[in-house]
Amino acid sequence: MDNADSVNVRVFSLNCWGIRYLSKHCPQRYAMIGEMLSKEEHDIVLLQEVWSEKDYLCLKKKLACTHPHSHYFKSGVIGSGLAIFTKYRIHDTFVYRYSLNGYPYMAHHGDWFGGKAVGMAVLNVGGLTANVYVTHLHAEYCREKDSYLPHRVVQAWELQQFIRHTSAGADVVILGGDLNMHPQDLGNRLLRSYTGLQDSYLETAKFDGCEDGMTLIADNPFITEKELGPFDKGIRIDYILFKSSSKADIHCDSMSTTKGSVPDHPFPYSDHEALTAELRLESCSPAETGADRPLKTQDSTAGRLAELVDIVTEARTEVKVGLHCAERMRYTAARTAVMGLALLFLELAIAAVPWLALGAEQPFPRTSFYLLAVLCFAILLTTSLLYIFYTMELKSLQGAEDQMRLAVSSLQEKLRGFPLAQPHNPPRRPPEGQEPGAFHPEE
């Protein structure tokens, strides 16, 4: 690219599958990852599932020369697992913890303990302000009966909100991570449509990697058939997304993924494939922004608004399903608690009779008495905790649903401002009553 005003940025993203003592060959794989990163010298490295801070610090030490700037996003009990390594100075960071992230009692799934979040780092890339986001959404354990779907949809909703609201001042937006969603999944459509983020895989000029850009593939020895389900070749759930602004155009010149094996090594870097996107950032002069760049017609804007209304409505339906489920679970918890309490009172009553009738023999065998009491207390405690937890889940789901309802009505209001019959001259300034800070289909 002979344009003097363009910067090439190589972005890398990998879910490291770094559960100490549990993930297979974890230390060896981290050594391989560190070696590769220091050799490849990507400009921005976005890692997920770096569950141990020790492993992050090890990588930081190894990459001190090639990637002097880094940040580890802390959250939850274990951590968010998110890390960024970069050549560019990090000026600011911010982290948003998703309000919903699975259930603590589903310890074998472990998502809740990870405290899933989206991390943001503000970098200066060739004079442009780049907001770089890294995230990891709740895993999908069973596609047919996905009880975590409402949680993932709310995470996608919060992710788009976070990116949209924090990136207004950015010239460049880059998001990398494991979204745990197929390309056409609801959350993915919601994220892309609302933020205007573009998918590197779909936009790239050149591609070298797995078929259909898949990042969870059957050829990876760490992947079992069960994990892929009906998608026997693999699925695409890791992404590098980007968004241009009025100050900078972004193009994806090439993209690549690893292919389930690493030359000269007995196993791959992770159970996920790694992504690399070569992005070209071109600064736009203010004049260019106004005059030379093609403007979208009102028709296409209205079309996109209408599409967005449909997607948000679909998301709202999914959240409502989650609401019903959470309400049912909370009701069950409350009912069980009442039963536990009733049992306890019954036991006490039976035991109290001989005490009251002084001298009568205690009919209740002591062992059973205490065991039953313990059981009652355990039930009461567990159900109380569950009740509190489900109440919090309900609040978050209701909150998301409220916001979605408001968003739909705001989008419909905007749609009414776009009569399809009018000539194709979009107004330079949004009409009064229309929100200029939110969704900009023109961008």
Instruction: Give the residue numbers marked as catalytic.
Output: 272
144 vs 140, 148, 156, 201, 338, CA distance in Å?
10, 11, 20, 26, 34
Cα dihedral 9, 10, 11, 15 in deg (nearest 10): -170
- Are 176 and 133 a contacting pair, CB within 8 Å? yes
Contact between 403 and its own copies per CB under 8 A: yes
For its own copies, give the closer residue by CB, 172 or 237: 172
- Kindly state the tokens that stand for 265: 């090594």
Cα distance between residue 108 and residue 85, in whole Å: 30
- Are 140 and 130 a contacting pair, CB within 8 Å? no
Region binding its own copies by CB under 8 A among candidate stretches 22-30, 86-94, 309-317, 345-353: 86-94
For its own copies, give the closer residue by CB, 107 or 205: 107
Contact between 5 and its own copies per CB under 8 A: no
Show the CA angle centred on residue 159, arms to residues 158 and 161, nearest 5°: 60
400 vs 99, 395, 396, CA distance in Å?
10, 9, 6
CA 230 to chain centre: 23
- Least distance in angstroms from the C-beta of 341 to its own copies: 17
Region binding its own copies by CB under 8 A among candidate stretches 2-10, 119-127, 215-223, 419-427: 119-127
Contact between 105 and its own copies per CB under 8 A: no
Indicate which single residue of 17, 56, 72, 242 sits in contact with its own copies (rule: CB under 8 A).
72
- Are 388 and 326 a contacting pair, CB within 8 Å? no
Residue 102 region by backbone torsions, left for phi larger than 0, else alpha for psi between -120 and 50, else beta = left
Region binding its own copies by CB under 8 A among candidate stretches 70-78, 197-205, 250-258, 271-279: 70-78
Region binding its own copies by CB under 8 A among candidate stretches 13-21, 89-97, 229-237, 254-262: 89-97
- Kindly state the tokens that stand for 423: 């000539």
Indicate which single residue of 7, 46, 100, 122 sits in contact with its own copies (rule: CB under 8 A).
122
Distance, first Cα to last Cα, the chain: 24
Bridge partners (DSSP) listed for residue 175: 133, 241
Contact between 115 and its own copies per CB under 8 A: yes
- Least distance in angstroms from the C-beta of 53 to its own copies: 9
- Least distance in angstroms from the C-beta of 430 to its own copies: 8
Cα distance between residue 384 and residue 382, in whole Å: 5
Region binding its own copies by CB under 8 A among candidate stretches 17-25, 166-174, 319-327, 416-424: 166-174
Residues in contact with its own copies, counted by CB under 8 A, come to a total of 63
Contact between 206 and its own copies per CB under 8 A: no
Cα distance between residue 172 and residue 128, in whole Å: 7
DSSP 8-state class, residue 78: S
List the x/- string, 351-390, binding to its own copies by CB under 8 A: ---------------xx--xx-xx--x---x------x--
Contact between 191 and its own copies per CB under 8 A: no
What is the binding site for its own copies (CB under 8 A)? 71-77, 79, 89-97, 99, 115, 120, 122, 124, 126-127, 129, 131, 161-162, 165-170, 366-367, 370-371, 373-374, 377, 381, 388, 391-392, 395-396, 398-399, 402-403, 406-407, 410, 413, 429, 432-438
